[in-house]
Homo-oligomer: A and B are copies of this chain.
Amino acid sequence: MPPRCRVRRPDAATIAAMLILMHAHATRAEIDDVMDHVRSHGYEPIELPGADRIAIGVLGSHPASIRDNVVGLPGVVDAIPVSKPYKMVGLEWHPARSVVRVGSAEFGGAGFAVAAGPCAIESSAQMVATARGVRASGATMLRGGAYKPRTSPYSFRGLGVAGLELLAEARAETGLPVVTEVLTPSEVEVVAQWADMLQVGTRNAQNFALLEAVGQAGKPVLLKRGMSNTVEEWLLSAEYVLSQGNPDVVLCERGIRSFETATRNTLDLSAVPLVRSLSHLPIVVDPSHATGHRHLVAPMALAALACGADGLLIEVHPQPDEALSDGAQSLTLEQFGTLMAELRRIAPAVGREMVGVSVG
């Protein structure tokens, strides 16, 4: 076979190692053969003699890339790669915490930012009423979906550009910056014209073409965790955005898929301090999609604040029982006001400042 394209990327800085474990009965020739194989891929193997077997250590850039090539060799029990494969999003090489600014809103730092609004943009009246209401309670950003990813092709899928216009109208009325979801690379440009922040949703968390497109759009990105993504995969998705030159990513935990069906998803709140121990990026929580039930939203919002989140994404609708989408998990404006008051009571106890202007 002719020489090929194995690309050694210039990321020696990612943390990586691999341990190749040999059978207790592996022969010297088998061990040597594995060592040679490792060398042929450009790595220096290190022999670790143990009581009843030998192991072989491999360090360097991406040793895991040869794991698949060695596990089948005679005498090998297993090869365990160890890595923190992200680089730009990681704390090790960027120890200062990032702050992402979106208009007047700020994610990261000592503040605690709350973006609120309906799941789907439905009408001018709905959007303006919501925007005024949530601003009065102290929200710092307005959310609302113009392009809706729906499991069924027969569900309401959003108003599209007309929805973006309504979002902009609500911004003009209230001064709140707006965040909305973008579904596909070709729509990034138009959404970026209207929105202050681009949201990548859970079903697109590993849509790498979209991640690169928002990485080039010149707007901050709200990156939801894929519902079956590990924290490591999620950080790698963020790495896609950063690798395009866009440092302004806010991560959003919104629940993962588990066997429990009493809640819409399983809110993995431990991911908040975990992400904060691994990455410098801000992280917010969406308790509305995570739980799917209105009465669980406020308790989980308070918990998110308590465990170190940098903010919240909350679904609010002036009339949840008439909502086109996600009514069961939307707060009324009054319920949202109550929640904001509760957050304000806890914030000082955890060293956070509620930054929105509350007129309540």
Chain A interface (Cβ within 8 Å of chain B)? 1-2, 4-7, 9, 11-15, 17, 19, 21, 23-25, 37, 46, 48-53, 55, 57, 59-62, 65, 67-73, 77-78, 80, 82, 84-87, 92, 122-126, 149-156, 159, 183-187, 203-204, 206-210, 226-228, 230-233, 236, 239-240, 243, 256-263, 266-274, 277, 290-291, 293-296, 299-300, 302-308, 318-324, 326-329, 342, 345-346, 349-350
Contact = CB atoms under 8 A, between A and B. Distances in A.
Contacts of A243: 153
A24 B19 contact: no
A255 to B, nearest CB: 8
Given A5-B324, A184-B207, A273-B299, 4 more contacts: A2-B124, A65-B155, A267-B268, A342-B350
Nearest to A213: B184
A326 B71 CA distance: 12
A52 B12 contact: yes
A246 B5 CA distance: 36
B80 A82 contact: yes
B68 A327 contact: yes
Contacts of A153: 208, 236, 239-240, 243
Contact of A72 (B232, B294, B345): B294
Which of A37, A151, A261 counts the most B-chain CB atoms under 10 A from its CB? Answer: A151
Given A19-B80, A322-B69, A296 B267 contact: no
Contact of A13 (B24, B231, B302, B318): B24
Contact of A19 (B17, B25, B65): B17
Contacts of A154: 9, 11, 14, 62, 85, 87
B156 A262 contact: no
A47 to B, nearest CB: 9
B262 A231 contact: yes
A336 to B, nearest CB: 15
A85 B152 CA distance: 7
